[in-house]
Amino acid sequence: MFEKRLERNLRAALKSFDGVQVRRIRGRMLVQADGSPARLEEAAARVFGLANLSTAWEVEPDFEAIAATGRELVEHALTHQYAGLQEVPFRVTVNRAAKSFPHTSVECDRAIGDLVVSHFPKLQVNLKAPVLELEVDIRDEGAWVFSGRHPGPGGLPVGVMGRVMCLLSGGIDSPVASWLAMKRGMRVDFVSFYSYPHVGPRTRDKIIRQVENLSRWQPQATVNIVPFAAIQEAIRDNCPPSYRTVLYRRAMQRIATKLAFRGKCKALITGESVGQVASQTLENMRVIEEASGLPVLRPLVTFDKQETIDIARRIGTFETSNMPAPDCCTVFQPEHPIIYGNLEEALAAESALDIDQLTIDAVRANERLHIPELK
C-alpha cells in the first residue's frame, strides 16, 4: 500500500514532464521520462518516502555491457568531479536480485571491478571508504548501472497516514510543522484566519504563497481562509483583555475542527513550541486544546526557534514567512497576556459570547481554495 501511494505521488510530482513512466521493482521506483536527469531528480527529491535517488543507465545483463557503461560513468566522474585527485578510492557494489544470473554478487563485484580498474590507473580499490562507488543492480526486469546517490527526503509517502488540518499562520513555525507532518505520511490541508479590515490583503496573499510553497511537497493542497475579525471584535468587547489571545486560539480550534470534519481530517496540526510565547505555556496550551474536537499534534513542541528556522530555510518557506504582513493574532493584542491560563476562567470569559453562532458564521464565510486552481 505504501509503495502504491509512493508511485502515485511520484507521478503527480513529475506530471510536468513528458513520457513519464513509473515502475515498482521490489524496493525501488524506476522512473523514465523525457527531460534533464538533473531536473527529474530535483522534482523527485521533494517526494516523501524516497531514501535516495540516482540517475541510472539501463544495460543488457552481461559483464561486458555492464563494464562498458561503468567505464563511461567512471571516466565522466574522474574527468569532472575528481580531476584534481592523484588517487581515487573506488569500489564496485553489485546487487544481484536475479537469481538466474550465473554469478554471485561478490563474483560480479570482482569481475566488473577488474574490467573497470584496468582502464584507470588513478583508481585504488578501497572497499571500506570509497570516494567513488559504481553500483550495479541486476534483476529479472533488467540491469542498471549508476554512480552516486543523492539523498531523498525520507519519511513516508504523503497520504498513507490520512489527512490532517494545519492551522497556518503567517509565521515561520506552522509551515515547518506542516512539512514535518507531510514527512510522516500525512496529507495536509490548511486553514488560516484573516482579520480583514484590521489586516490588509497582503496577509491573505502571504498565506496563499505559503501554501503554494508547501504544495511542492504533496500532490495537492487546499487552504481555507476564514474571516476572523467579528470573533476578535466580540472577544475585545466582552472578555478580559488578558485572555484575548487564548480565546482567539480557542475559537480557531473550534473552527478548524469543523472544517477538518468536513475534509475527513483525523487531527489538527499547529506550530506551537513550549514556552516560545505567552500562549504556549503548558497551562495555556491545555486551555486552548480543550476547545478542539480532534487530537492536536505539535511537531515543533520541543524545538528551539533556530532549529525551526534552519528547516524553513532548507525547505524553502523561510523567505515567504519573513514577508512583512501581520497575522490575525497581532490584532487587539493585550499589554499583559495571561501566562498560566485557567480553563474555568476561560470558560467564564467565553460565556459572555454567543460562541456557537460566531463559529457557525465564520465556517459559513470560509473561502476554500485549491492550489492547482491558483496556479
Residues 282 and 203 in one domain: yes
Residues 178 and 281 in one domain: yes
Give the pLDDT of residue 10: 94
Is 31 within a domain?
Answer: yes
CB atoms within 10 A of CB 293: 12
Give the pLDDT of residue 205: 93
- Give the CA-trace dihedral at 16, 17, 22, 28, to 10 degrees: -90
Give the pLDDT of residue 374: 38
Give the pLDDT of residue 372: 65
Q: Structure pTM? A: 0.91
* Percent of the chain residues past pLDDT 70, beyond the cut: 99
SS (H, E, C) 252-303: HHHHHHHHHHHCCEEEEECCCCCCCCHHHCHHHHHHHHCCCCCCEECCCCCC
Region 263-286: what's the mean pLDDT? 96
Q: Is the pLDDT assigned to residue 373 strictly greater than 60?
A: no
Closest CA to 29 of 74, 39, 45, 16: 45
Listed residues 148, 181, 199: the one ending a domain: 148
Region 56-69: what's the mean pLDDT? 89
- Residue 11: domain span: 1-53
Residue that wins the pLDDT comparison between 255 and 334 = 255
Is 153 within a domain?
Answer: no
Q: Is the pLDDT assigned to residue 146 strictly greater than 70?
A: yes
- Three cell numbers at 12? 503527480
Residues 135 and 210 in one domain: no
Residues 24 and 62 in one domain: no
Region 69-81: what's the mean pLDDT? 93
pLDDT category at 227 given cuts 50, 70, 90 is: very high
pLDDT single digits (tens) 186-209: 999 999 999 999 888 999 999 999
Q: Which H or E element spans position 219?
A: none
Strand partners, 90: 125, 132
Residues 64 and 40 in one domain: no
Residues 59 and 121 in one domain: yes
* Max avg pLDDT among 32-46, 98-112, 169-183: 169-183
Average pLDDT, the chain: 93
Q: Cα 49–46–160 angle (5° rounding)?
A: 35
According to DSSP, residue 243 is labeled G
Residues 307 and 348 in one domain: yes
Q: Is the pLDDT assigned to residue 375 strictly greater than 50?
A: no
pLDDT single digits (tens) 283-300: 999 999 999 999 999 999
Q: How far apart are the first and last CA of the chain?
A: 30
**Residue type, position 138, single letter:** I
Phi/psi of residue 130, nearest 5 degrees: -75, 145
pLDDT single digits (tens) 317-329: 999 998 887 777 7
Q: Is the pLDDT assigned to residue 35 strictly greater than 90?
A: no
Residues 194 and 292 in one domain: yes
Give the pLDDT of residue 349: 97
Give the pLDDT of residue 108: 86
Give the pLDDT of residue 99: 80
Q: How far apart are CA 138 and CA 54, in angstroms?
A: 15
Q: Is the pLDDT assigned to residue 330 strictly greater than 80?
A: no
Please report the DSSP string for 313-374 in residue order: HHHT-HHHHTSS---GGGTT--SS--SS--HHHHHHHHTTS-HHHHHHHHHHT-EEEEHHHH
Residues 174 and 321 in one domain: yes
Region 208-235: what's the mean pLDDT? 94
Give the pLDDT of residue 333: 86
